[in-house]
Amino acid sequence: MNKTLIDVDGAKQALRQFADDRNWRQFHSPKNLVMALSGEVGELTEIFQWMTEADSHGAASAPTTAQAVSDELADVALYLIRLADVLGVDLNAAIASKLVINAAKYPVDAARGVSTKYDQLPKS
């Protein structure tokens, strides 16, 4: 698939430069980046932890949480992009491939409107 689903080249280059300017490449092992990514996902999770389902839908626009949601989403994205770059993973290709895999695992007829895991869906 040649379609661009996500273009992270600008962010990837900016993150490389950011790390290089600070001599941080030495700290950006895949292990360390995964741990940092997990920490940032945890910080994002913390924002939503005690919200109601209804409140969670407005978290990105609520005055008390909007900036924090935006900041943590950015942190998650930045660490994910940096990790993919360090590992040499093309995120566009990975996402395109995973969408094809998920479409096969979750056929529309069997998965529409249900949250059942793919291996528990009725066979078509």
Confirm whether 113 is domain-assigned: no
Per the structure, how many domains does the chain have?
1
Residue 57 lies in a domain: yes
Identify whether 123 is part of a domain. no
Where in the chain does DSSP place strands (E)? none
Q: What is the pLDDT of residue 73?
A: 98
Query: What Cα–Cα distance (Å) separates residue 57 from each residue in 46, 47, 64, 65, 66?
Result: 15, 12, 14, 11, 11
Report CA torsion sign: 113, 116, 122, 124. Answer: positive
Rounded Cα–Cα distance for residues 30 and 27 (Å): 9
Q: How far is CA 54 from CA 27, 50, 115, in A?
A: 40, 11, 19
Its domain, for residue 66, covers 9-89
In a domain, 20, yes or no: yes
CATH number at residue 50: 1.10.287.1080
User: Does the residue 35 lie in any domain?
Assistant: yes
Residue 124 pLDDT: 65
Cα(107)–Cα(105) distance, integer angstroms: 6
Task: Specify the pLDDT at position 98.
Answer: 97
Model pLDDT, residue 119: 87
Residue 49 resides in a domain: yes
The per-residue pLDDT string of the chain (124 residues; one tens digit each, 9 = 90 and over) reads 568 999 999 999 999 999 999 999 999 999 999 999 999 999 999 999 999 999 999 999 999 999 999 999 999 999 999 999 999 999 999 999 999 999 999 999 999 999 999 988 988 6
